[in-house]
């Protein structure tokens, strides 16, 4: 294990070790996120093989997200207490065997149980966030966490790699085997390239109760609500979109995955842009802009395919309204960019307000976002099974975003009034 002396805060941003840790952590998180999202692609052939309803598809796709969310709080706390390097490595190591065993699953319950174990990979976010943030001064933590958060692009990586492997091998069973080997190699590389700094384990002397006490702060609930939209929405839509393209537009699985990546890729890679914008313009202004952009996009996407007739003086006239795949992809690209920026801006709030408890707070906020990502595909499926209207998923996202905007307006207005008083 390599242990480095604590770098001075003023030079941490340019320290070689800090950037090496950030690079290793971002790569590891990208692989973890690809594994976490694997059922977005595997779920499509499994839906046919197991004769699943849309609700059951949503369940099988979202199951890994559940454990990846629930594990974020304890892993974030352990990161504060024991350091990010060892916790991150162990998080990856425990998923290797369950990923491999997915190849041999044949029943729905087996996929659900293994998905729960595989989902631990998604909790790596609450490990890596405080781990990399503490290597940088506060003025650069937004950028550092944004770069690390760009590992969300693993969702797009999964959409490129998994369909290609399935097409080449002629079966979905090749994907879990390759992902298991990739996770093992990534864990080893991370351990060799990362580093530890004893100073970063500042929470070690605090009791569990002391760490959790900060969670009673109303700001934590506020940021959790914001994150449930920008991250939970990103996860839910990333899981849902490939099959949406298949069923709505009739694309083959590899075509659907490629087009869905037009949302997932900017939604991950451009998170670093959100970190920079948050450092430059402030977390509040950046998040406010994000919410309005996504609200407008979801309004456009919500309109279902419609035929209607208007009785005019010259007789009845019939109109057809529908969004084609090209326009749909462009709007979803904009949503992906906005959500990437929003995910980073929310965590800039956390680093500004809770610098000594980033792990615990980011774990709770990540839990809220992850639980939203778990529930949304299931709700998408329920709405689809009940109404038969595929755009109901965007109607739900429009409503959730509107609630966030209303909450953001009144909570920050209350804070400003309190400071004036």
Model confidence at 136, pLDDT cuts 50, 70, 90, reads confident
Question: What CATH number has the domain bearing residue 142?
Answer: 1.20.1250.20
Which segments of 8-152 does DSSP mark as H helices, in order? 16-36, 39-50, 54-70, 72-82, 84-93, 96-101, 108-118, 124-133, 138-149
Share of residues in the chain with pLDDT > 90 (%): 33
DSSP 136: S
Instruction: Name the token pair of 131.
Output: 């781990």
CA nearest to 79, candidates 197, 224, 249, 171: 197
- The number of distinct structural domains making up the chain is 1
Lowest mean pLDDT among 78-87, 141-150, 316-325: 141-150
- Token pair in block for residue 414: 């209350």
Residue with tokens 């109303």, as numbered in its chain: 218
Instruction: Look at 393 and 265; give whichever has higher pLDDT.
Output: 393
Which of the listed ranges 88-97, 244-253, 262-271 does the model predict with the highest average pLDDT? 88-97
Alpha-carbon distance 310 to 306, whole Å?
A: 13
Distances (CA, A) of 82 to 126, 158, 300: 14, 31, 47
- Measure the CA–CA gap between 63 and 75, rounded to whole angstroms: 19
Q: Average pLDDT of 291-306?
A: 92
Residue 4 lies in a domain: no
DSSP string, 172-213: TTHHHHHHHHHHHHHHHHHHHH--B-GGG-GGGGS-HHHHHH
Residue 214's pLDDT band (cuts 50, 70, 90): low
For 300, the domain range is: 15-420
17, 21, 58, 188 from 192: Cα distances, Å = 12, 10, 37, 6
pTM of the model: 0.76
Query: Which residues are within 8 A (CB) of 275 and not within 5 positions of it... i.e. 6 or more apart?
Result: 142, 143, 144, 145, 146, 147, 149, 344, 348
**CA distances (Å), 187 to each of 10, 226, 398, in order?**
31, 31, 39
Tokens for 25? 């952590």
The predicted model gives 312-330 an average pLDDT of 87
> Which residue reads 């594990």 in tokens?
71
In a domain, 93, yes or no: yes
Q: Is 128 within a domain?
A: yes
- Tell me what the mean pLDDT of segment 368-374 comes to: 86
pLDDT for 284 equals: 85
Report if residue 141 sits inside a domain: yes
pLDDT tens, position by position, 52-77:
888 888 899 889 988 988 888 788 87
Task: Give residue 180's pLDDT.
Answer: 96
Q: Is residue 227 part of a domain?
A: yes
Considering the domain boundaries, does residue 9 fall inside one? no
- Domain assignment of residue 251, yes or no: yes
H or E segment to which residue 309 belongs: strand 306-312
> What distance in Å separates the CA atoms of residue 44 and residue 32, rounded to the nearest whole number?
21
Structural domain includes residue 114: yes
Residue 12 has pLDDT above 50, yes or no: no
Angle, CA of 330, 332 and 333, to the nearest 5°:
65
Q: Which residue is it, tokens 């093989």?
A: 49
Q: How many CA atoms lie within 13 A of 101 on its CB side?
A: 15
Cα four-point dihedral sign 333, 339, 345, 347: negative
- C-alpha–C-alpha distance, residues 130 and 138, integer Å: 12
């Amino acid at each position: 294990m390599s242990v480095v002396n604590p770098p001075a805060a003023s030079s941490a941003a340019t320290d070689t070790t800090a950037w090496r840790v950030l690079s290793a952590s971002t790569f590891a998180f990208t692989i973890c996120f690809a594994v976490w999202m694997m059922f977005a692609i595997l779920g499509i052939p499994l839906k046919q093989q197991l004769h699943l309803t849309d609700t059951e598809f949503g369940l099988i796709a979202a199951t890994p997200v559940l454990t990846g969310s629930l594990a974020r709080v304890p892993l974030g706390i352990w990161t504060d207490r024991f350091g990010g390097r060892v916790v991150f490595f162990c998080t990856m190591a425990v998923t290797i065997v369950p990923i491999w065993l997915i190849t041999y699953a044949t029943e729905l319950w087996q996929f659900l149980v293994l998905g729960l174990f595989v989902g631990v990979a998604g909790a790596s976010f609450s490990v890596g966030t405080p781990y990399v943030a503490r290597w940088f001064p506060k003025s650069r933590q937004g950028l550092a966490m944004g770069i690390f958060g760009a590992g969300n692009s693993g969702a797009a990586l999964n959409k490129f790699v998994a369909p290609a492997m399935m097409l080449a091998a002629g079966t979905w069973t090749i994907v879990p085997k390759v992902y298991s080997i990739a996770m093992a190699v990534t864990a080893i590389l991370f351990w060799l390239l990362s580093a530890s700094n004893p100073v970063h384990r500042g929470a070690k002397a605090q009791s569990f109760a002391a760490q959790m006490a900060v969670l009673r702060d109303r700001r934590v609930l506020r940021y959790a609500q914001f994150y449930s939209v920008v991250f939970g929405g990103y996860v839910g839509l990333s899981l849902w979109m490939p099959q949406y393209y298949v069923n709505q537009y009739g694309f083959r699985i590899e075509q659907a995955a490629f087009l869905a990546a037009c949302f997932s890729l900017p939604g991950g890679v451009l998170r670093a842009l959100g970190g920079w914008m948050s450092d430059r313009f402030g977390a509040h202004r950046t998040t406010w802009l994000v919410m309005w952009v996504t609200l407008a996009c979801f309004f456009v996407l919500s309109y279902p395919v419609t035929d209607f007739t208007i009785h005019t003086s010259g007789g009845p006239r019939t109109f057809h309204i529908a969004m084609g795949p090209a326009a749909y992809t462009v709007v979803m690209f904009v949503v992906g960019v906005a959500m990437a920026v929003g995910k980073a801006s929310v965590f800039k709030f956390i680093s500004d307000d809770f610098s000594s408890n980033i792990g615990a707070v980011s774990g709770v906020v990540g839990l809220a976002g992850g639980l939203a990502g778990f529930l949304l595909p299931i709700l998408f499926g329920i709405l689809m099974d009940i109404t038969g209207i595929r755009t109901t998923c965007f109607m739900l996202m429009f409503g959730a975003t509107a609630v966030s905007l209303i909450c953001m307006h009144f909570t920050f207005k209350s804070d400003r009034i309190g400071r004036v008083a």
